[in-house]
């Protein structure tokens, strides 16, 4: 008989994030201005007091470009389920919160406010890179997919500079870099406290760098 405790639990955190993105997308189709006002606009007008918008913007995708949400959710489904299976829902949840903050804040501060889950997706892959020295399966997965994912990130820079597409490249590379630092906590446990320190310090620095509220003309 099989051990009931060995039955895999569904990746609740991964599916919850996917569900939220889909709900927000449906809301955008119905009333895009309301979504912008509620989930994007507060940070532009409220400064650090509305910094929670850094999390909600990751759930928003272009309503006129269905491939934006489709590709993001396909990648997130694969990467999120994998990390949730290996490290559990609590650790994935903490990782997603940190990645959403760092990727969105970096994008805002260096290239303007962005939307979408891609910064988080690249952050999860960065986590895999960092954690891979301590996990042979993650090392295999990274080697199989690095060319495709990092290659697309590089191509995205050229597409943006050529004005073909508007892509959140800072969120991509910011998420990738921070995710790798976070992953090294698990990949190089001998130096975990140094990487924990960096993982805590970076979001704090980005918080202090956040711009203030946009002044009104009134």
Give the structural domain span for 166: 9-209
Provide the domain count of the chain: 1
Cα separation values, 158 from 42, 108, 151, Å: 31, 20, 11
Residue 125 resides in a domain: yes
Q: List pLDDT tens digits, range 116-157.
A: 999 999 999 999 999 999 999 999 999 999 999 999 888 988
Convert the pLDDT of each residue in 152-181 to its tens digit: 888 988 988 888 877 889 999 999 999 999
Does 2 score more than 60 pLDDT?
A: no
pLDDT, residue 216, reads: 33
Domain membership flag for residue 214: no
Sign of the alpha-carbon torsion through 172, 178, 180, 183: negative
- Examine residue 218 and state whether it is found in any structural domain, yes or no: no
Write the pLDDT tens digit of every residue in 34-57. 998 888 887 766 555 577 888 999
CATH number (domain holding residue 144): 1.20.1540.10
């Amino acid at each position: 008989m099989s051990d009931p405790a060995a039955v895999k639990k569904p990746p609740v955190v991964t599916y919850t994030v996917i569900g939220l993105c889909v709900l927000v997308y449906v809301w955008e189709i119905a009333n895009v201005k309301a979504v912008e006002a509620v989930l994007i606009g507060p940070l532009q007008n409220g400064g650090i007091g509305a910094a929670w918008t850094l999390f909600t913007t990751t759930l928003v995708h272009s309503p006129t470009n269905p491939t934006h949400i489709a590709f993001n959710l396909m990648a997130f489904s694969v990467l999120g389920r994998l990390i949730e299976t290996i490290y559990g829902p609590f650790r994935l949840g903490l990782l997603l919160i940190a990645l959403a903050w760092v990727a969105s804040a970096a994008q805002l501060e260096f290239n303007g406010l962005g939307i979408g889950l891609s910064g988080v997706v690249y952050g999860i892959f960065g986590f895999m890179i960092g954690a891979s020295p301590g996990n042979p399966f993650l090392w295999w997965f990274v080697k199989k997919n690095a060319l495709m994912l990092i290659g697309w990130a590089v191509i995205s820079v050229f597409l943006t500079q050529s004005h073909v597409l508007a892509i959140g490249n800072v969120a991509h590379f910011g998420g990738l870099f921070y995710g790798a630092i976070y992953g090294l906590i698990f990949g190089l446990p001998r130096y975990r406290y140094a990487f924990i320190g960096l993982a805590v310090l970076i979001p704090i620095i980005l918080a202090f760098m956040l711009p203030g509220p946009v002044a009104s003309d009134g």
